Structure 1
């Protein structure tokens, strides 16, 4: 579970990450990352739309992603804001497959951010 202080909750935060951030994607996930001036640890949010499936499927995917994302937040820069967007193939993916995609996307987005996201 993501601690409350580690969650993105406001619409403008999500919009800033999606508009100004770097992104990296795989077949099941797209990860967006933007570094803000605010410190206090990395924060993350999820987007799991109806395209992924019905409510039961969406909530299952969300729970898996939250569980996978929580320990990985410690490895991100302190100023990072991350949005993980699930794509329709995520509905049929195992937790291991989602974890592999998440790791690959985080590596890609950190590489693309380069020196602009120092924590």
Structure 2
């Protein structure tokens, strides 16, 4: 479970992260990230977007819980002060947790690489 300090909550923050952040995707997850955008002492914040295209409410909540659990163990991969919005794509509902974890790692690596290359 993510603590309250690690949740990206306001719609303005989410909108800013999507519009101004870098984008990286895989077949199941799309990430918008502003890595290190805030001061270095601030915790990284995450938001999850799981739309109706993923499935019914039970399926969406399951996908969101799985992503939240996977992301809680990967917070250390993000620089301090980062904001990330993770959007679940429709195939995420049919993937196993290891496959979803692999896609999430791939997306986070791509975000970190795009940060260092610019």
- TM-score tier, shorter chain, comes to over 0.9
* Gap runs ≥5 in structure 1: none
Aligned residues: 116
Q: Cα distance 1:46–1:90, how it changes in 2: closer, same or farther (>3 A)?
A: same
Q: Does 1:25 align with 2:8?
A: no
The aligned residue for residue 80 of structure 1 is 82
**C-alpha root-mean-square deviation of aligned residues, in Å?**
1.2
- Scaled by the length of structure 1, what TM-score is found? 0.93
The aligned residue for residue 68 of structure 2 is 66
The aligned residue for residue 52 of structure 1 is 54
- Runs of 4+ aligned residues of structure 1 deviating over 4 Å after TM superposition are none
* Gap runs ≥5 in structure 2: none
- Scaled by the length of structure 2, what TM-score is found? 0.93
Partner of 1:19, secondary structure, is: helix
Q: Which moved further from structure 2: 21-30 or 33-42?
A: 33-42
In the alignment, the residues of structure 2 paired with residue 75 and residue 26 of structure 1 have an alpha-carbon distance, to the nearest angstrom, of: 18
In the alignment, the residues of structure 1 paired with residue 95 and residue 117 of structure 2 have an alpha-carbon distance, to the nearest angstrom, of: 33
